[in-house]
Amino acid sequence: MLPETPSVLVLDDQQLVIDQLSSLLKSHGYKKVYTAREPQAVKQLFQSHHIDVLVADILLADNQNGIDLVTELKEVYRFLLIFISGQHASMLEKALPVMPDAYLVKPFSDEQIITTLLTTWSNNKRKQPQEAPELSIREQEILHLICQGKTNKEIAELLSISPFTAQTHRANIREKFAVQNTKELLIKAHNLGLLG
């Protein structure tokens, strides 16, 4: 069992695969395991939960595929990706542009998926240690409002401050997070687990 287990989202269109992987992960101490059978459910889970690792089948029902979904998700979220597929080289070539962290070919053993997840998570933690910057209470309030999509004017009205003060706080928050714009700020705040 890992000392700190990542949150894992399993995407597969076969309920049996979902049930087996979910049960396996939970039996190995993974506390936050989410499941989905189609891309729209995955998007909703990413919006409502912090997802560290996506374990996704590439080929899904109704001519949908995990590659298109991951391409869309990576524009907004940062997460580790483990692709699973019943096909070999041809599908791997198609998956490479989205840079999966690992790729498993079905059928795989319980040991293979657990080992792959463990090494992928451990390697990532060593590469990118992240800590949330220290924010004042006011900056925390403003970050929360930024994450809700509020403008400087709306923040100013809600907190009874001037728009210039709201803009200054926003700039200070971006500086503390070492980002250039609001999109990068939202991604970084999500990756640090600050959005929920």
> Which helix (H) or strand (E) covers residue 82, if one does?
strand 80-85
> Per-residue pLDDT tens for 72-113?
888 888 889 998 887 666 777 788 888 888 988 888 899 999
Per-residue pLDDT, 82: 92
Q: What's the CA gap between 2 and 9, in Å, rounded?
A: 17
- Identity of the residue numbered 90: S
Q: With cut-offs at 50, 70 and 90, classify the pLDDT of residue 196.
A: low
Helices 110-127 & 15-27, crossing angle to 10 degrees? 60
- Identity of the residue numbered 167: Q
Q: With cut-offs at 50, 70 and 90, classify the pLDDT of residue 115.
A: very high
At 124, list the tokens: 């990532």
Q: What's the CA gap between 169 and 94, in Å, rounded?
A: 43
- 0.85 cut: is pTM over it? no
Per-residue pLDDT, 85: 85
> Per-residue pLDDT tens for 24-62?
999 999 999 999 999 999 999 998 888 999 999 988 888
Per-residue pLDDT, 187: 81
Q: What's the CA gap between 34 and 10, in Å, rounded?
A: 6
Q: What's the CA gap between 13 and 38, in Å, rounded?
A: 6
Question: Based on the number of CB atoms within 10 Å of its own CB, is 53 exposed (0-12), middle (13-18) or buried (19 or more)?
Answer: buried
Looking at per-residue confidence, does 64 or 142 come out higher? 142
> How many angstroms separate the first and last alpha carbons of the chain?
25
Using alpha carbons, list the distances in angstroms from residue 91 to 38, 63, 87: 19, 14, 6
- 3-state SS, 39-71, equals HHHHHHHHHHCCCCEEEEECECCCCCEHHHHHH
Edge-to-edge strands of the sheet including 53-57? 33-36, 8-11, 53-57, 80-85, 102-105
The residue written with tokens 């049960």 in the block is 23
> Which helix (H) or strand (E) covers residue 185, if one does?
helix 182-191
35 contacts 22 by C-beta, under 8 angstroms: yes
